[in-house]
């Protein structure tokens, strides 16, 4: 047989048969059978083709079957209903089809005729916080999508959208200051240059972040100080900017290792800070156009629509105190992706708890013409839960770090191999490599963590 995948070869033959009867060749497209008990494949084009030709569909289907004649590709061609042709393929043809597909570097999957420009937003970790099991789904789903879309021939840009520019940065600055008040980053008079080596380690950051968060939840003065530090950081205070860069660099090194262990790659590692300078001009433009309006001292974009079945609150763009929000940054991010990447489709792989937020942002982007002709989609998924139905946690009460999970699964894989004897004869180094691979395969199936 022709070395095309089996369905493609069947489609070629059926198209020729329909064309020989004066019908549109597209009527010969072959698809997998909807009811396997009736056949392996089916062709459903006779009904539409017969209508166009003013013919009886069953008679047209019968004429097509006659035109096809006998062929080793099939054992039977049966007409059902108003002209559906059910195709039962022989074992030899199936074996040949599998062989042809296996010999094809693309496994029978053709590239799309009209590639589109996709931007994928996934991962989304925060500076100073270690990756944990909750990051698995976004990372694995997002990376799988970018691989599939690229394989199909689309143009894809992936962006991690790092959380590096919010109140958590002010919290960290305040916590470092509390422990090391004499560091040069806190001097009132700016220096011409600051140390190139960070004053803290990644372990320090991972200790300081929950410490600072807990303090700000119970101490209003600490929260106010963190908010003040955040404002000064975003306004460009040199010492704070230098310290913040240390936070980001330390975190990026750790994150690259974690994502590397999963085999996940990004084209860009942009953080929320990347869009800070775009916020004020964007807001000014939105106000000038009338899309954004003032309300009780804040700036909002009304996004409710006449056909809404539930009330949709306006998008809060600027708080009454002049502060920006995640929504402001997300809108500026869409603006940049359309402008710089010429994105036609932007996909957000983020859990379902953010559904309302994205609905508001997408509506605002379309209303403002920031993304008037761009498809914006939130690919929502559920949270990673333990046996209690709540987000997966360790016995100690914290969310399990990704590194700890990989180590735990690697040790379990190694123990299982030793107990079963399948690793007998392997050197320790090779056994460790196999255990590592097995652990990554296992954690790439998140539902297993429910056990």
- For 40-94, the pLDDT digits (tens) are 999 999 999 999 999 999 999 999 999 999 999 999 999 999 999 999 998 888 8
Residue 222 to residues 171, 177, 211, 219, Cα–Cα distance (Å): 8, 12, 12, 5
Cβ proximity of 172 and 247 under 8 Å:
yes
Map tokens 């976004």 to a residue.
138
The CA-atom distances, in angstroms, between 412 and each of 191, 383, 435, 436 are 52, 24, 8, 10
394 HSE (CA, 13 A, CB side): 11
Task: Provide the pLDDT confidence category of residue 4 given band limits of 50, 70 and 90.
Answer: low
Residue 350: Cβ-neighbour burial (10 angstroms; 0-12, 13-18, 19+)? buried
* Sign of the dihedral defined by the CA atoms of residues 121, 153, 363, 134, in that order: negative
pLDDT score of 354 more than 60: yes
Compute the distance between CA of residue 429 and CA of residue 4 in angstroms, rounded to an integer.
43
Closest CA to 178 of 156, 154, 152, 200: 200
| CB-based contact 124:109 (threshold 8 Å) | no
Residue from 357, 402, 405 nearest 380 by CA? 357
Helix (H) or strand (E) holding 3: none
Q: Which residue, among 213, 134, 131, 133, has the nearest Cα to 166 in the 3D structure?
A: 213
CA distance 98 to 94: 6
The pLDDT, as a whole number, for residue 90 is 86
pLDDT digits (tens, 9 = 90+) for 251-293: 999 999 999 888 899 999 999 999 999 999 999 999 999 999 9
Whole-number pLDDT of residue 392? 59
The span from the CA of 410 to the CA of 413, in Å, is: 5
Beta bridge partners of residue 318, listed in sequence order: 299, 324
Closest CA to 378 of 134, 147, 152, 138: 138
Residue 448 DSSP one-character state = G
> Residues in the chain, how many?
451
Q: How far is CA 435 from CA 39, 221, 412, 446, in A?
A: 43, 49, 8, 18
Is there a contact between 431 and 417 (Cβ–Cβ < 8 Å)? yes
User: Which residues, at least 6 apart from 369, have a Cβ–Cβ distance to it below 8 Å?
Assistant: none
Tokens of 299: 């700036």
pLDDT digits (tens, 9 = 90+) for 122-151: 998 999 888 887 788 899 999 999 999 999
- Predicted local confidence at residue 398, as pLDDT: 58
């Amino acid at each position: 047989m022709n070395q095309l995948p089996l369905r493609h070869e069947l489609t070629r033959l059926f198209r020729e048969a329909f064309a020989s009867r004066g019908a549109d060749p597209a009527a010969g497209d072959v698809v997998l059978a909807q009811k396997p008990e009736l056949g392996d494949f089916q062709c459903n084009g006779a009904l539409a083709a017969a209508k166009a030709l003013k013919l009886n569909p069953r008679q047209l289907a019968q004429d097509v079957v006659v035109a096809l004649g006998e062929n080793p590709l099939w054992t039977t061609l049966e007409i059902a209903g108003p002209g559906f042709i059910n195709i039962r393929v022989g074992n030899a043809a199936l074996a040949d089809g599998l062989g042809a597909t296996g010999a094809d570097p693309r496994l029978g999957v053709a590239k799309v005729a009209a590639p589109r420009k996709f931007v994928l937003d996934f991962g989304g970790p925060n500076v100073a916080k270690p990756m944990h099991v909750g990051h698995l789904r976004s990372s694995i789903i997002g990376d799988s999508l970018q691989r599939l879309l690229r394989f199909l021939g689309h143009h894809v840009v992936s962006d991690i959208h790092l959380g590096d520019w919010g109140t958590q940065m002010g919290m960290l600055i305040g916590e470092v200051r509390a422990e090391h008040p004499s560091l040069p980053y806190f001097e009132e008079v700016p220096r011409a240059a600051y140390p190139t080596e960070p004053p803290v380690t990644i372990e320090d950051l991972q200790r300081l972040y929950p410490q600072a968060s807990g303090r700000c939840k119970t101490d209003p003065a600490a929260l106010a100080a963190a908010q003040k530090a955040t404002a000064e950081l975003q306004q460009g205070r040199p010492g704070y900017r230098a310290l913040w860069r240390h936070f980001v660099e330390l975190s990026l090194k750790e994150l690259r290792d974690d994502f590397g262990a999963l085999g996940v790659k990004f084209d860009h590692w942009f953080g929320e800070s990347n869009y800070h300078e775009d916020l004020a001009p964007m807001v000014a433009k939105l106000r000038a156009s009338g899309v954004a309006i003032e309300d009780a001292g804040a700036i909002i974009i009304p996004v409710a629509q006449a056909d809404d079945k539930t009330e949709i609150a306006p998008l809060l763009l600027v708080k009454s105190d002049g502060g920006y929000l995640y929504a402001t940054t997300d809108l500026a991010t869409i603006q940049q992706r359309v402008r710089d990447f010429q994105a036609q489709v932007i996909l957000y792989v983020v859990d379902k708890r953010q559904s309302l937020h994205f609905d508001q942002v997408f509506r605002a982007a379309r209303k403002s013409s920031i993304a008037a002709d761009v498809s914006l989609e939130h690919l929502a998924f559920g949270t990673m839960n333990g046996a209690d139905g709540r987000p997966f946690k360790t016995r100690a009460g914290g969310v399990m770090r990704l590194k700890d999970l990989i180590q735990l699964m690697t040790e379990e894989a190694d123990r299982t191999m030793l107990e079963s004897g399948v690793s007998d004869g392997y050197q320790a180094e090779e056994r460790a490599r196999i255990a590592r691979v097995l652990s990554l395969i296992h954690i790439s199936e998140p539902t297993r963590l429910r056990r």
